[in-house]
Structure 1
Amino acid sequence: MKNKNMLVNATMGAAAASFLISEYLFKMAFKRVDYVPETSEGKKKYAERYWKYVDWFQKSNKEHWFLKNEDETERMSAWFIPARNAASKKVAVISHGYKGNGETMANFAKMYYEMGFDVLLPDDRGHGESAGKYISFGWLDRLDYLQWLKKIIERIGNDTQIILFGVSMGASTVAMLSGEKVPAQVKCIIADCGYSSIEEELMFLLKRQFHLPKYPFYPFISTINHHRLGYYLGDVSSVTQLKKNRVPIFFIHGEEDDYVPSYMSLENYRATDAPKELWIVPKATHAESYWINSEVYKKHIQMFLAKYLN
């Protein structure tokens, strides 16, 4: 009996310790951060260029848009940059990465602006000036983006042509959005280095960064997320959503990405039956494809867009 009690106590102790570790991991990954973390050492060589784009963004003529303005706990924020040509009917909706915000996508905003687009830069839940205690990794954000699309069409008109563009978490956000009933004005999607599912991405990072196994931590983290945000992590899947996608989509991924491995874009590519293209960028790490050669990147984008925009 004594040995049995010791075993029960040890099992309960191990379960309690696993839960506490899972709670710590959840907060570290999902809790809102009200600042943009420093970039990796490998990308600091792009800092001077990056800050020039931010300076352009800050000085640009723009409008501050909101959703759910009546409720500050749910209010979503976005910046809208009108095109040079007031008669433009093309809008690029740009989705930012993990712990970023609309401003951190200034280089892409300028690229699309110079291509003649209006640009909308939302702050996702738990990021920037949008509300939210926790990061939803694109899953709840996809529903907010449906509202942003509605707002764009109301502003620009029914003959608007919209493209969805995202990098990293933003790529997964627009991929997951594609599985919803998006308006006909959405003509194509570009997803740069997105994950195939949050489960697969978290398990990759759990092993790579913490050398921890999937069990028992993943079920605890998923349960905590369900309690806080209302869904299990198994629901957050680009692959599942892309199976319902009917919008042309272009996947981009760095060949040497060690944060979101490039095989995830292959999984996303295989999942959709819509017109699709895939570009694996040689020598590029995570979210580096643009920075390695921005002109080549822009040309790939333009060639894709030319097939689907008037």
Structure 2
Amino acid sequence: MLVYIILISIAALAVISFTVLSIIAIRSLRKIVRRPKKPAPEVFEQAYRLNYISEETQKILRAAFDRFESYTTTETSIISHDGLKLIGHIIEPDTSTPKGTVIFMHGYRSSCRQNLCMPISFLLDEGYRVLYIYQRAHGKSEGKYITFGVLESLDAKAWCEHVRNLFGESSPIALFGASMGGTSVMCSTEKGLPENVRAIICDGGYTSPWEVRLYKFRKTHSISPYPFMNVLNLYARLIAKFSLKGVFSPRAVASSNLPFLLIYGTADKAVPYEMGVTISEASERTKLISVEGAHHLCCCMQEPTRYKNEVISFLEKNMK
């Protein structure tokens, strides 16, 4: 009789523990994957608060922000594989024959204006057509849930196909992603991109949603991430229809024949610099640009001239 009581008690404790974990996991999941209700603070404002970039660079950044609002754009859209209407904007350079199209994908709960206004500005000046998009569950695009690059990588493929249909198979395409957008573009290379996609640029992308969530958990908690992370992933699959283990950037890079330019700051506290090293070591077709002391997505502010020159040189070499 005592044995049965013990077994029943253990089973009851397990049920209670799983229920409590489930409640915490569901609340956490909804907090991190739901469409943001308000935009994140502007990156240049964060940079001012950090106060580690020069006044000259702050002026360049401010000019790029102001210029972004003045562009003449053509709105375009696609329907994702799961039926969402996704919105992008095309900006034509001041030349009759663009060198190709660069598709920009922003980061988590952000926008291309916040994350990528500087490279958008200098690549337009270099004669590249720009397509900047709103990721699913961001801005003008539809979607209830952010999937940290899992479904966004399929969206990147769809945008490439859209650009090919608009401008022809002979017009070269590059993908340029920041943070979650960087993971999205890297992992899109596993999805069967059009042949006119020639290059991938990633600024601060992580190895996988699973690993970056583990990293953030360990930064803020002194307890083991297990089994909480497993339960969180279970409900990600059930509620938002994706797995935190659904993409893995090093695998995608290793299996691709495309060239990758990887840009990471050594002081990044959102996506650790070591993730960039891991991704770069997955293939000989990668070039890792390390910016000493730069925080997340601040490499272009820390060393703007070097950043610009590396990006332009990489595209000139591969967009042929």
- Same fold flag (TM > 0.5): yes
Indicate which of 4, 9, 13 corresponds to 1:10: 13
Indicate which of 191, 194, 197 corresponds to 1:180: 191
Q: Does structure 1 residue 156 correspond to structure 2 residue 167?
A: yes
Secondary structure in structure 2 of the residue aligned to 1:165? strand
Offset of residue 265 of structure 1: 1.0
Secondary structure in structure 2 of the residue aligned to 1:235? coil
Indicate which of 189, 192, 204 corresponds to 2:200: 189
Aligned to 2:316: 306
Aligned to 1:102: 112
One-letter amino acid matched to 2:36: V
Q: Does structure 1 residue 288 correspond to structure 2 residue 298?
A: yes
Q: Does structure 1 residue 44 correspond to structure 2 residue 59?
A: no
Q: Does structure 1 residue 21 correspond to structure 2 residue 43?
A: no
TM-score when scaled to structure 2?
0.89
Q: 1:37 to 1:15 in 2, by over 3 A?
A: same
Structure 1 alignment gaps of length 5 or more: none
1:1-310 equivalences in 2 (<5 Å): 1=2, 2=5, 4-38=7-41, 43-45=47-49, 50-68=61-79, 74-104=84-114, 105-273=116-284, 275-310=285-320
Higher mean displacement: 118-127 or 146-155: 146-155
Higher mean displacement: 180-189 or 230-239: 230-239
Secondary structure in structure 1 of the residue aligned to 2:101? strand
> CA separation in 1, counterparts of 2:253 and 2:77?
28
Q: Cα deviations across residues 200-222 of structure 1 (Å, max 9, x unaligned)?
A: 10000011124442211111111
Secondary structure in structure 1 of the residue aligned to 2:88? strand
> CA separation in 2, counterparts of 1:39 and 1:102?
11
Q: Cα deviations across residues 26-63 of structure 1 (Å, max 9, x unaligned)?
A: 11211110322225885235777555433312211101
> CA separation in 2, counterparts of 1:65 and 1:213?
45
Is the Cα–Cα contact under 8 Å of residues 78 and 102 in structure 1 kept in the other structure?
Answer: no
> CA separation in 1, counterparts of 2:262 and 2:199?
11
Is the Cα–Cα contact under 8 Å of residues 76 and 125 in structure 1 kept in the other structure?
Answer: yes
Structure 2 alignment gaps of length 5 or more: none
Q: 1:154 to 1:11 in 2, by over 3 A?
A: closer
> CA separation in 2, counterparts of 1:11 and 1:39?
45
> CA separation in 2, counterparts of 1:143 and 1:252?
22
RMSD: 2.2
Is the Cα–Cα contact under 8 Å of residues 34 and 127 in structure 1 kept in the other structure?
Answer: no
